[in-house]
Amino acid sequence: MMATVGDAGPRLRGWLPPWAARALTGPSLMCTVAVLVLHPLPADASFNTQGVGAGTATVGTLNAPTSVTVTSLGSTVTVNWTGATPPVGTLDGYTVTRYAGATPSNACGTDPANSATFIPAGTTTCSDTSVPDGTYSYTVTAVFRTWTAQSLQSNAQTVVGDQTKPTQSVTEAAGASNAHLVGTTLFYRSTASGSFGLVDTVTAVLGPASATFPAIAATGWTHPAQTVSTGTGTNPIAYTSSTYSWTASPGVPATHTVVGRDSVGNTVNEALTFASDTTGPTGGVLSVNATTASGAGTTSYANASFPVTVRTDYAADAGAGQGTSVLTREPATLINNACGTFGAAVTLTGAPLQSGLTTGCYRYTLTGTDIIGNTSAISTTVVYDVGLPTQAITMTAGVNSAQTGNVVYYRTTTGGSFTLNDAVTDGDTGPASATFPAIGTAGWTHNAETVLTGTGAAPTISYPSTSYSFTTVAAAPVAQSVVGKDVAGNSVTTPVTLTKDIVVPVSGAVKVNAIAATTAVSASYAKTASLAISARVDYTDALSGIASSVLTVASATLSANTCGAYGSTTTIAVGVATQAVTTGCWKFVLTGTDRVGNVASIATVVKVDLLPLTGGALTVNGLAATAAATTGTPTNVASFPIDLRTDWTDAESGMKTSTLTRAPAATWSAGNCGSYAAATTIVGTPVQTGLVTSCYKYVLTGTDNALNVTTITTIVKYDITPPTAGALTVNGVGASAAGTSSTANAASFTIGLRTPNTDVASGLASTILTRQPAPLSGSTCGSYGAATTIVGTAVQTGLATGCYLYTLTGTDLAGNTVAISTTVKLGVYVTNVAMTNGTGTLGRIDQGDRVVVTFSDQIDVSTLCSTWTDSTLDQAISGDNEVTVTLNNLAGSDTLTVSSSTCTLNFGTLSLGSTAYTTGTVTFGGALTNKSTVGWSVSSRQLTITLGQVSAAGPAVVATSIATYTPLAAVLSTVGVATGGTFVSPNVKQF
């Protein structure tokens, strides 16, 4: 076969598409390809083949790139073209060639010999950089595997490098804090932290490229080296730095050079100098309320409108430049001539008159601020007070004089004097002075005076006057006007009136021992140690007012109805209703004194007799009576005596009566005597008999002719009534006084109810539950042993077979007793039943299984098996076919019974607690190794049944069941006690 390939463009280097290669090398086709290379563009290839059948194959065309154009900017040439499309697949890429005349060189970084430098197929532009000055044209070659297709040459382009430096303008970016750029000097306030940004605006012939901002290495400063190539605008372009920042008190940076670049690498520099500026502006002057402001601040006072006298704003700054000059007014509270915390400032325009203000402090501050925040300030504070002070006039050091409100009373029956005190109060600027006028009235002496120094501190200062004095002929002066002033000059005036008072107090009254006191001195008698003080009305005074209304008491001896000399007096406070006294005379005097010394009084005398009676004595049932009443312990004797009776005597007024009485208690419960009923008088000392249960109070009472009464008492608690019975239930049977009985066949039984005894008279001393054991033989109890006290209602467990007598006994405090009892006969019982598996299936009854019954006592073996003898020996039924164990199918529960052919076997019934063990009657037994056996162990008190050969297998395995074993009562212990009760197993897998 012969193939011909025509090429109208660049050379085709023998490439065949994959499908063509497979056709030419297949097992049934062999061919030879001859390649004819022609020139020039475009490139295409086709060939014809002959073989089995006939066909024609065309190898496509690789077109060259078109529309190649170039432009230059400085030494950079930009090449653009229209891309080429390969016949199949994807173009490998492009290479670019630069021609200086006819001389070619690689361009745009491409190299035809290195496919890694090819411009990707989808890219149709490139930049040829650092091109020497000259005139050039360019071609673009498409590469597709071994094919290449080169474009026509582009237009010629002359390249001239740019040697003109760009220009730049470095300015401060918006948002600077505590910094300002003035020319090439960057002023910053080093007393605080701050930040700023720089903007380098670069202008270049061939266009700006970047701005470089160097790093700052000075202590406290932060800014890294930075070249910014993206900005705003086209030409010029503004490049903004990142933030420059510093902390307080930083170092001073060195000269900072900002570099601008154009697109061909030309640069321009601008050096910036850093300068610390911490000085505020100058030139400010301020005067308010005619007081010049200063840096430390000044103060003045005003109580009316005041001017801003002078205002000259700040106008100069030697550093970053003057910014603002502002006059502000800040208010604060004024308390006690002290300014509080100043509030929000109000800016004042110009120098306005200050009017319409309320009382307070006002700080005026003229503040100059430079561009980076340094400030200069002067201030003055005006303490503004338009509130009037108040004053309170009080009299001090008064002699025969007193004050009520703003009236001063004086008593002219004798001379006197006083001073006035003016307490001036002003919560704003504070008190300043008090002025007291002169008195020119006859008999009076006082000069005009202004007092500037007092006692106390703002808001109240007390200013004292000198002494005002008067004689017995002093007339009433005109009202005296006292004037108080505050620091701001505000004043208050108070008139003081001087009034004569020579009238004594009136309306005094008092009763003691129910007798009213009089000016003539009243009298009465008393026999108590406390006298009632009633109807006390203190003296009053309508002029100067009452100074005191005092009730006093003094005592004297009382002999032959005559009072001796009275001793010192004691004042009785208002509201005291009684006065403690002893035998003697007691004189009560109510004295009223007004505030200028006028006096009035009334009095009463009480004769008090408190001498006690003597000689009385009483003893009943061996217990002596006392004034506090003596109480004996309860007694239940049939009768008791009055052991001793001595009647009362009195050596002063003599006896009126001496009487012995007995009174029973109306109630008596739990040892507590209640209220007593009417008393019966007892003559002499008769024996006390025939009494009923009660408390009896015996009282010997003496009364003298002055009606003084003395008593002594003794109380006998008499109780012949036993306590009420308690309640007791043991083993379900209630106890009684005659005694009850019950039988138990179990490991434990309960004390179901225990109610203690009670006693309504002397009270219960004790209620005790005891248990006494006795042996049990058959059904007969033997002699009871020592009693054990039982606390509470503990379950009775761990007891041996026998009789147990439970007795609840109550005893009262007088010794009366009551008891109830019940006896429990504890018989033989089963302590455990174990159903164990042998070698068969767990849960199913089969050969080898065992039933082991444990008894609480030794059993008379003849009552288990009628042929067994000697209960001290182990027993067994182990012959062939001698024991038959029967499994019975019953409706409620399957049962297990045991019988023997050799004796009457008293096994009882074992209810298995399930109907699933069998569906019919099944027996176990046989001969030799298949036999069932029965055995008795003396040491363990156990009856063991071992199951022999089963007649039929059980129908199923039983998971768990609760078995109940009921022994026969015919089984007796070795002392003839019957077996009883039932045993219930746990719910477990049996056998």
- Which range has the worst mean pLDDT, 16-20, 137-141, 298-302, 805-809? 16-20
Alpha helices (runs of H) in 584-709, residue ranges in sequence order: none
Determine the 3-state secondary structure of 21 from DSSP: helix
Determine the Cα angle at 272 with ends 269 and 274, to 5°. Answer: 160
Q: How many Å apart are CA 952 and CA 921, to the nearest integer?
A: 9
pLDDT > 60? residue 307:
yes
**How confident is residue 760, by pLDDT bands cut at 50, 70 and 90?**
confident
Residue 829's alpha-carbon distances to 632, 749, 965, 968, in angstroms, are: 55, 12, 11, 10
pLDDT > 70? residue 45:
no
In the prediction, which pLDDT does 418 show?
Answer: 95
Task: Tell me the pTM.
Answer: 0.41
Q: How many Å apart are CA 389 and CA 737, to the nearest integer?
A: 99
Q: How many Å apart are CA 440 and CA 478, to the nearest integer?
A: 9
Counting residues of the chain whose pLDDT is more than 70, the rounded percentage is: 93
Average predicted confidence (pLDDT) for the chain: 89
Q: Give yes or no for a contact between 685 and 700, defined as CB atoms under 8 angstroms apart.
A: no
pLDDT digits (tens, 9 = 90+) for 689-741: 999 999 999 999 998 766 789 999 999 999 988 998 899 999 999 999 999 99
In the prediction, which pLDDT does 705 show?
Answer: 64
Q: How many Å apart are CA 568 and CA 577, to the nearest integer?
A: 21
- Which range has the worst mean pLDDT, 41-55, 587-601, 921-935? 41-55
In the prediction, which pLDDT does 59 show?
Answer: 52
Q: How many Å apart are CA 434 and CA 461, to the nearest integer?
A: 10
In the prediction, which pLDDT does 205 show?
Answer: 85
As a dihedral over the C-alpha atoms of residue 79, residue 85, residue 89, residue 90, rounded to 10 degrees, the angle is: 10
**Residue tagged 């009566």 (tokens):** 657
In the prediction, which pLDDT does 58 show?
Answer: 42
**How confident is residue 7, by pLDDT bands cut at 50, 70 and 90?**
very low
> Quick one: average pLDDT of 479-492?
93
Q: How far is CA 625 from its chain centroid?
A: 64
pLDDT digits (tens, 9 = 90+) for 495-508: 999 999 989 999 99
Q: Give yes or no for a contact between 941 and 855, defined as CB atoms under 8 angstroms apart.
A: yes
For residue 871, the tally of other CB atoms under 10 A from its CB is 17
pLDDT > 80? residue 450:
yes
pLDDT > 50? residue 56:
no
pLDDT > 50? residue 10:
no
Q: Give yes or no for a contact between 527 and 656, defined as CB atoms under 8 angstroms apart.
A: no
Provide the b/e sequence for 624-652 (b: ≥16 CB within 10 Å): ebeeeebeeebbbeeebebeebeebebee
In the prediction, which pLDDT does 653 show?
Answer: 60
As a dihedral over the C-alpha atoms of residue 629, residue 633, residue 637, residue 643, rounded to 10 degrees, the angle is: -40
Q: Give yes or no for a contact between 604 and 579, defined as CB atoms under 8 angstroms apart.
A: no
Residue 504's alpha-carbon distances to 507, 542, 596, in angstroms, are: 10, 10, 10
Q: How many Å apart are CA 544 and CA 392, to the nearest integer?
A: 18
Q: Give yes or no for a contact between 673 and 632, defined as CB atoms under 8 angstroms apart.
A: no
Alpha helices (runs of H) in 788-882, residue ranges in sequence order: 861-864
**How confident is residue 33, by pLDDT bands cut at 50, 70 and 90?**
very low
> Quick one: average pLDDT of 374-381?
96
Determine the 3-state secondary structure of 916 from DSSP: coil
In the prediction, which pLDDT does 655 show?
Answer: 82
Q: How many Å apart are CA 54 and CA 437, to the nearest integer?
A: 152
